[in-house]
């Protein structure tokens, strides 16, 4: 092999080495990018699974007296077909959920998950009663889908306007304040569907005379409860004047509100009417 041939061969070998390392480096980079992207996708999916598990882990649900439990993404309800409304709605109100968004208010629609069919909103038309939210739209303004889900007719009950826009609204605002203060609380709410009740609309939607709201706070394995029972009428009284024991609500409604709590804790908490530690006025 002459000198010229050796030079050409060396250049070709050098070029081959450069191309090889370029291809190899490119392969390494692409592999790293793929692994990083895959890891990111995997983490996102895991985060979603964790979030779903957190949503599904809400296990302080009351008993249902009519055995029609409906689970939406951020709240659960027990639908009473005879009364054409939920006997209770339960949900976790996390601190991060309390936000204010200028979402467009949707129309009320029937709940597709209620097997017996939830009442049509037209039952409320010209009835003299508001379509009163049980799970307030204001508690679900952290996401458009959560907000829209509060406009199922399974989530409303006939409320007097001066009640809905008055003391009931004051209580809802206070609940959001407490959710921020205590880093999240559990809420159970509904109308008392007992006794001889007025009805409205073609589907005979019952008008509760009283509405209740129960708050449960858990911190480091310790619990506390506060409950309210408010007449469906205008009131300027302070909120604490409507504090009742959970026991008294259970007797009125026939619902066991916290069956998953151990009996000792449940018995102590459900007799309590303490409101001072909750910063109510």
Can you give the three-state secondary structure of the chain, one letter per residue?
CCHHHHHHHHHHHHHHHHHHHHHHHHHHHHHHHHHHHHHHHHHHHHHHHHHHHHHHCCCCCCCCCCCCEEECCCCEEEEECCCCEEEEEEEEECHHHCCCCCCCCCCCECCCCCCCCCCCHHHHCCCCCEEEECCCHHHHCCCHHHHHHCCEHHHEEEECHHHHCCHHHHHHHHHHHHHHHCCCEEEEEEECCCCCCEEECCCCEEECCEEEEEEEEEECCEEEEEEEEEECCCCCCCHHHHEECHHHHHHHHCCCCCCCCCHHHHHHHHCCCCCHHHCCC
Render pLDDT for 163-181 as a digit per residue (tens, 0 to 9): 999 999 999 999 999 999 9
Buried b (16+ CB within 10 A) or exposed e, 238-257: ebeebbbbbbebbebbebeb
CA distance 151 to 147: 8
Q: In 10 A of CB 144, how many CB atoms? A: 13
Which of 29-43, 53-67, 136-150, 206-220 is the least confident region? 29-43
For the chain, give every domain's residue range: 1-57, 58-278
Fold of 58-278: Extracellular Endonuclease; Chain A (3.40.570)
Mean pLDDT of 28-51: 47
And the tokens for 225?
A: 């409860």
Which of 26-40, 76-90, 217-231 is the least confident region? 26-40
Among candidates 154, 130, 137, 131, which has minimal Cα distance to 103?
A: 137
Render pLDDT for 196-232 as a digit per residue (tens, 0 to 9): 999 999 999 999 999 999 999 988 878 889 999 999 9
């Amino acid at each position: 092999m002459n000198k010229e041939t050796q030079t050409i061969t060396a250049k070709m070998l050098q070029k081959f080495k450069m191309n090889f390392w370029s291809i190899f480096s490119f392969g390494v980079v692409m592999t790293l990018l793929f692994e990083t992207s895959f890891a990111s996708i995997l983490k996102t999916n895991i985060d979603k699974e964790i979030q779903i598990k957190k949503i599904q882990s809400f296990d302080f649900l009351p008993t249902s007296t009519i055995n029609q439990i409906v689970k939406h993404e951020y709240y659960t309800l027990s639908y009473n077909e005879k009364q054409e409304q939920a006997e209770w709605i339960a949900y976790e109100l996390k601190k991060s959920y309390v936000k204010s968004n200028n979402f467009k208010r949707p129309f009320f629609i029937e709940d597709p998950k209620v097997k017996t069919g939830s009442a049509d909103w037209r039952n409320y038309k010209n009835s003299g009663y508001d379509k009163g939210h049980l799970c307030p739209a204001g508690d679900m303004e952290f996401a458009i889908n959560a907000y829209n889900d509060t406009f199922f007719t399974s989530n409303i009950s006939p409320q007097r306007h001066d009640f809905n826009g008055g003391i009931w609204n004051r209580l809802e605002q206070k609940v959001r304040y407490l959710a921020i203060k205590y880093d999240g609380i559990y809420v159970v709410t509904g109308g008392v569907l007992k006794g001889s009740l007025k009805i409205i609309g073609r589907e005979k939607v019952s008008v509760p005379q009283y509405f209740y709201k129960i708050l449960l706070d858990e911190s480091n394995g310790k619990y506390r409860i506060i409950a309210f029972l408010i007449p469906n009428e205008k009131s300027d009284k302070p909120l604490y004047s409507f504090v009742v024991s959970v026991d008294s609500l259970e007797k009125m409604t026939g619902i066991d509100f916290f069956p998953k709590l151990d009996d000792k804790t449940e018995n102590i908490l459900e007799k309590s009417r303490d409101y001072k530690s909750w910063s109510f006025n």
